[in-house]
Amino acid sequence: MSENARTEYDFELPHGYVDAAGTVHRQGTMRLATARDELSPLIDQRVKENPAYLGVVLLSLVITRLGAVTDIHAGVVESLFAQDLAYLQDFYRRINGLDSESSTVACPSCGTSFAIPGSAAGERLGEA
């Protein structure tokens, strides 16, 4: 791996995050997820009470900037429009190499290779 490996990616939200002052923030930056990012939400009480909250916590860890906002926390992600949340979940999967049309696996018994749909590998964010 090169010393200059890319770890942050810019994005533009379809609608944008609207802050308390009414300012719309559409451009942002997301960094690649680490193993800790994938694991730490699992001990979060909010995720334990509602597993669907996993994506919100995970995105709050990896989004480093949203317009002029640099303090990204779960409350910011919760305030996003549904289309923006879906966009960011897809963006997360793409930059972390989790979004593919299919994956190739081999049978451990006979060695035959076959493709499985990408959705069979884990549909929800954080289920890699």
Give the total number of structural domains in the chain: 1
Contacts of 100 (CB under 8 A, 6+ apart): 118
Whether residue 82 lies inside any domain: the answer is yes
Q: Give the residue-averaged pLDDT of 102-128.
A: 54
Whether residue 21 lies inside any domain: the answer is yes
Determine the structural domain holding residue 45 and report its residue range: 8-119
Looking at residue 126, what is its pLDDT?
A: 56
Q: Which helix (H) or strand (E) holds 59?
A: helix 54-62
Looking at residue 67, what is its pLDDT?
A: 96
Rounded distance, CA 25 to CA 17, Å?
5
Whether residue 55 lies inside any domain: the answer is yes
Whether residue 38 lies inside any domain: the answer is yes
Whether residue 128 lies inside any domain: the answer is no
| Residue appearing with tokens 């533009």 | 12
Give the confidence band of 120 by pLDDT, cuts at 50, 70, 90: very low
| Residue appearing with tokens 């597993």 | 51
DSSP for residue 5: -
**Which residues are registered as beta bridge partners of 11?**
28
Whether residue 49 lies inside any domain: the answer is yes
Which tens digit of pLDDT belongs to each residue from 54-98? 999 999 999 999 999 999 999 999 999 999 999 999 999 999 998
The closest of 63, 57, 55 to 95, measured between CA atoms, is 63
Looking at residue 5, what is its pLDDT?
A: 83
Whether residue 124 lies inside any domain: the answer is no
Which tens digit of pLDDT belongs to each residue from 1-53? 556 788 999 999 999 999 999 999 999 999 999 999 999 999 999 999 999 99
Rounded distance, CA 36 to CA 112, Å?
34
Whether residue 126 lies inside any domain: the answer is no
